[in-house]
Amino acid sequence: KNKDLTLHSVDALNVGYLAFNTEKKPFDNVLVRQALNYATDKKAIINAVFLGSGTVAKSPIPPNMMGFNKDLQDYAYDPQKAKNLLKQAGLENGFEATLWSMPVQRPYNPNSRRIAEMIQSDWAKVGVKAKIVSYEWGEYLSGMRKGEHDTALFGWMSDNGDPDNFADVLLGCDSIKTGSNAARWCDKEYNSLVEKAKLVSKPEERAALYQQSQEIFYQQAPWIALANGKTFYATRSNVSGYSVSLMGSDFSKAKLN
């Protein structure tokens, strides 16, 4: 509302998500992971927390990036279906788990505590008791890289504008060792597709490989993909030629009018 300022925004190349530690029970069971996707009301989270600064995510690849599968299904909010899947998994009475909440703000997660509380409330409706914990940021990252979490809120901003920076860095098998694969998920078919995409030079062929990999991501559900966030910058109103980078930083050929 300040006439002396202009607010600039861009749909940045990022994704916020909740990763299941697939090396720990019961998150090694795909039925449990699918169930908790159905149990989470992502639209409510976007409306309550992002306040117009984000959209619901369904993929590890942002929607404005090459290779995004626009036809990819998403998990609707369906608590009854979640209960049915938990019953199939032998967990009709639910279970307990920790839910790690980031101690910092990011465009893909502007209020981690509030998101964690909303997820906690949603999961409680299907019998899953989530204990929210948080740590200093360095300790949070270190513990997650070691696989100490059950589930953890995290996210990613693009380093280079390439889909490999999401598809492989966040979910590739080798990324378990580096610590950037918070789900500690290694699917051979998925991994083969994203590895092949590195070696292909034609954009349309690469895009097709990433689109196939997202179908596997959807079926195996190593995450709850939550949000793609906008990035905002403000300038004085007499500045022109200013633009915001898709990778979340500012890029400017600005001048004063």
Average pLDDT (119-129) is: 98
Average pLDDT (201-218) is: 97
Please check whether residue 83 is in contact with residue 126, taking contact to mean a CB–CB distance below 8 angstroms.
Answer: yes
- Reported as a single tens digit per residue, the pLDDT across 162-175 is 999 999 999 999 99
Amino acid at residue number 78 = D
- The number of helices, as runs of H, and strands, as runs of E, in the chain is 9, 9
**CA distance linking residue 186 with residue 154, whole number of Å:** 18
Q: Take residue 242 and report the two structure tokens written for it.
A: 């200013």
The predicted model scores a pTM of 0.91
Average pLDDT (200-215) is: 96
**CA distance linking residue 54 with residue 42, whole number of Å:** 11
Q: Give the residue from 194, 101, 193 showing the smallest Cα distance to 154.
A: 101
Please check whether residue 154 is in contact with residue 17, taking contact to mean a CB–CB distance below 8 angstroms.
Answer: yes
Q: Where are the beta strands (DSSP E) in the chain?
A: 5-11, 14-20, 54-56, 95-100, 128-133, 151-157, 223-236, 239-244, 250-256
- pLDDT higher than 80, residue 230: yes
Specify the DSSP element, H or E, that contains 237.
none
pLDDT exceeding 90 applies to what percent of the chain? 84
Phi, psi of 195 (to 5 degrees): -70, -40
Q: How far apart are the first and last CA of the chain?
A: 20
The CA–CA distances, whole Å, from 238 to 5, 249, 256 equal: 8, 21, 6
- Reported as a single tens digit per residue, the pLDDT across 23-67 is 999 999 999 999 999 999 999 999 999 988 899 999 999 999 999
Average pLDDT (234-256) is: 69
Residue 195 pLDDT class (50, 70, 90 cuts): very high
pLDDT for position 79: 98
Mean pLDDT of the chain: 93
